[in-house]
Amino acid sequence: MDMFVPRRALFERDALYYPIGKHIYHKMHELGVETSFVGSHNRVTGIPGKTAQEAYFEGKRTLVVGIRRTLDFQTCKPSAHYQLPLVTSCIGECEYCYLNTTLGKKPYIRVYVNIDDILSRAKEYINNRKPETTIFEGSATSDPLPVEPYSGLLKESIEFFGREEFGRFRFVTKFTNVDSLLNVEHKGHTTFRFSINSESVIRKFEHRTPALDERINASVKVASAGYPMGFIIGPIFYYPEWRKEYVQMLESLAQQLSGKLSTPPAFELITHRFTKKAKKNILEVFPKTQLPLDEEERRFKYGQFGYGKYIYPKEQMAEMKSFFQEKIRESFPDSKILYFV
């Protein structure tokens, strides 16, 4: 995939006092991207969008550069203790993406320039929990990799955690521009995860993201750089060829990674689910979606915060669970499955 070039870039004026902000500003000018200023990265005007579709696609082509002012980090259970706020949203256009329901109608990509403040705050959180280890998640509200060539935020964070005895970092991506992160002193403190899926799921639902073989190639580079690694397989769909295609995916992953991993990978398995609200949003933006969104075919599960989700029925869940447990054990005998939901 080519490097992401936004259609417009909007800056908070003060962001230009920071080296990252200045760098992105010059880069945008070099690339001929239209730039302008906004009062706050939270109240962004100037993105077109009369219809839900236009709002979504224009949002996904807009870069907003600002300063993170709230330095209280959100918790991030169960995979980490805290979210590390670096970037929100992402250039991908996955039809099922949960960010479509949480980021509003115009899911513009926001980058924070005050990385020193953010990492000093992380250090306070780490110190407060010492000698326990504190884990930070860098992709709770984004896929941070596509904007890495402009921001360098992951690189700085990985270096920071490399120096922290009691801090660990993890993030996940579907993207493949990993080269700038390969020679970073990570000291094994950052877990680099890739989100993968069967080829047909990627083709049908994960628009503007790299193909499976490109993701696998990127994961081989990352493994060769000695990072601890993980794979999120999700959302897992139950469709006529699911067994065949997921076996192909796992086999090709195992084959390419053979001999490259320094530690066994960890797998996170997430079956497809949706809420009523998500379904409504998806149908507005992708009216012709082929996502399976028929409530009748699902089991309703009451959620923690009063909203329920539609998950696969018990028998299908059990079938998928034992299938993945078995196939992952065959392809990656030493690996761990962290969860299946």
Binding site for ligand SF4 (CB under 6 A): 90, 92-94, 97, 99, 143, 174, 206, 209
Hey, is 275 helix, strand or coil? coil
Q: How far is the CB of 204 from ligand SF4 (least distance, A)?
A: 13
For ligand SF4, the closer of residues 174 and 189 by Cβ is: 174
For ligand SF4, the closer of residues 16 and 87 by Cβ is: 87
95, 168, 229 from 137: Cα distances, Å: 23, 9, 14
Count of other CB atoms within 10 angstroms of residue 208: 16
For ligand SF4, the closer of residues 90 and 113 by Cβ is: 90
Residue type, 261: L
Please report the beta strands in the chain, taking only residues with DSSP state E, as ranges in sequence order: 8-12, 34-38, 62-66, 82-83, 87-88, 93-94, 109-112, 134-137, 167-173, 190-196, 206-207, 229-236, 266-271, 299-301, 309-311, 336-340
Residue type, 100: N
Q: How far is the CB of 115 from ligand SF4 (least distance, A)?
A: 21
Run of H or E including 121: helix 115-129
Q: How far is the CB of 157 from ligand SF4 (least distance, A)?
A: 18
Q: How far is the CB of 199 from ligand SF4 (least distance, A)?
A: 16
Q: How far is the CB of 275 from ligand SF4 (least distance, A)?
A: 15
For ligand SF4, the closer of residues 58 and 143 by Cβ is: 143
Q: How far is the CB of 209 from ligand SF4 (least distance, A)?
A: 5
Give φ, ψ of 79 to 5 degrees: -80, -20
Q: How far is the CB of 235 from ligand SF4 (least distance, A)?
A: 9
Q: How far is the CB of 184 from ligand SF4 (least distance, A)?
A: 22
Q: Which residues of 317-337 are buried (b: 16+ CB within 10 A; e: fewer)?
A: beebbeebeebbeebbeebeb
Cis peptide before 131 (omega within 30 of 0): yes
For ligand SF4, the closer of residues 95 and 159 by Cβ is: 95
Contacts of 186 (CB under 8 A, 6+ apart): 158, 159, 161, 162, 225, 226, 227
User: Parallel, antiparallel, or unpaired: how do β-strands 8-12 and 34-38 relate?
Assistant: parallel
For ligand SF4, the closer of residues 112 and 160 by Cβ is: 112
Residue closest to 104 by CA, chosen among 295, 235, 271, 284:
284
For ligand SF4, the closer of residues 174 and 298 by Cβ is: 174
Cis peptide before 78 (omega within 30 of 0): yes
For ligand SF4, the closer of residues 126 and 216 by Cβ is: 216
